[in-house]
Structure 1
Amino acid sequence: MSSFTYVLTTNGVLFLISVIFWKFPPKKINNIYGYRTPKAMQNQQIWDFANNTFNEAFLKYSGFSFLAALLLATITKVALSWEPMVLVALSLLVSIVKTERSINDNFTDEGKKKK
């Protein structure tokens, strides 16, 4: 498999998923689609905030990941193996950490908005 094909099937698919999440965010709390953590599912206000925050971060970081992997595939002479997947994992990890921090900064443990 060529490096470009590998990047398109890992980082490209991740970016496509982030665009779908951004364009079609979940409206109501559910167990199938959206940013689903126990804290995010406490009430509708946290759900909306968490999904908005995650979708913005996910779009940004998966876009950076996709561009970085394409650049890496362009400048490297050897076939890529684990590098694009590390970028995928970092994109997801950073998006989740930023969202959880943002939830904790804006809401109490009981689910009420901090002032």
Structure 2
Amino acid sequence: MGLNIFLFVCNLIIPVIMLFFGVKFRKHGPENINGIYGYRTSMSMKNKETWEFAHEYCSKLWVKLGFIMLTMSIIVSALAFTLVGDVQGIIEILIVTIQTTVLIISIFPVEKALKKNFDEHGNRRY
């Protein structure tokens, strides 16, 4: 039973982090462009405007995705508790794999929005 609870908590880490940073970036994104903390890509770090845009866009996306993944993870993990042996472990690993994939894929819509709204030098398109 202890392992089940541990796996359940592990499955909540990525969605909770996405929700946390989604809310945090919406209200208080990193003030200065830096290479340590925040949504850091070459496009988002062009200038202050691209930096703020990327964090605002990413925050909205991560709140939505984090909420969806948290809900689904709770439901699937609860159902997996009823299974025995290796099947439960495989399901838990699949959940984390899907969450990690969603987290990585979330970069693409942010970059697409940046390219739609800014040119390659970081100047806003009108």
Alignment equivalent of 1:68, drawn from 49, 69, 72: 72
In structure 1, runs of 5+ residues without a counterpart are none
Query: Following TM superposition, by how much is the alpha carbon of 1:29 offset from its aligned partner in structure 2, in angstroms?
Result: 0.8
Normalised by the length of structure 2, the TM-score is: 0.78
Matched ranges for 1:48-59 at <5 A: 48-59=52-63
Q: Over aligned residue pairs, what C-alpha RMSD do you find? A: 2.0
Query: Would you tell me which structure has more helix in proportion to its own residues?
Result: 2
Greater C-alpha Rg? 2
Deviation at 1:56, TM superposition (A): 1.2
Offset of 1:66 from its aligned partner?
Answer: 1.0
Q: For residue 41 of structure 2, what is the aligned residue in structure 1?
A: 37
Q: Which runs of 5+ in 2 are unaligned?
A: none
Percent identity reads 23
Among residues 115, 118, 123, which one is paired with 1:104 in the alignment? Answer: 115
Please say if 1:6 is aligned against 2:10: yes
The answer to whether the Cα contact below 8 Å between 2:14 and 2:100 also exists between their aligned partners in 1 is: no
After superposition, the Cα gap between the structure-2 partners of 1:27 and 1:101, relative to the gap in structure 1 and judged at 3 Å, is same
TM-score normalised by L of structure 1: 0.84
Kindly state the Cα deviation for residue 14 of structure 1 after the two structures are TM-superposed: 4.2
Aligned residue for 2:78, secondary structure, equals helix
Contact 1:35 1:50 in 2 (8 A): yes
Q: 1:32 to 1:101 in 2, by over 3 A?
A: same
Determine if contact 1:11/1:66 at 8 Å carries over to the other structure.
Answer: yes
Q: When the two structures are aligned, how many residues end up with a matched partner?
A: 115
Do the aligned partners of residues 17 and 51 (structure 1) sit closer, same or farther apart at CA in structure 2, a change above 3 Å counting? closer
Secondary structure of the residue aligned to 2:98 is helix
How much does 1:65 deviate? Answer: 0.8
Which residue, 104, 109, 112 being the options, matches 1:93? Answer: 104
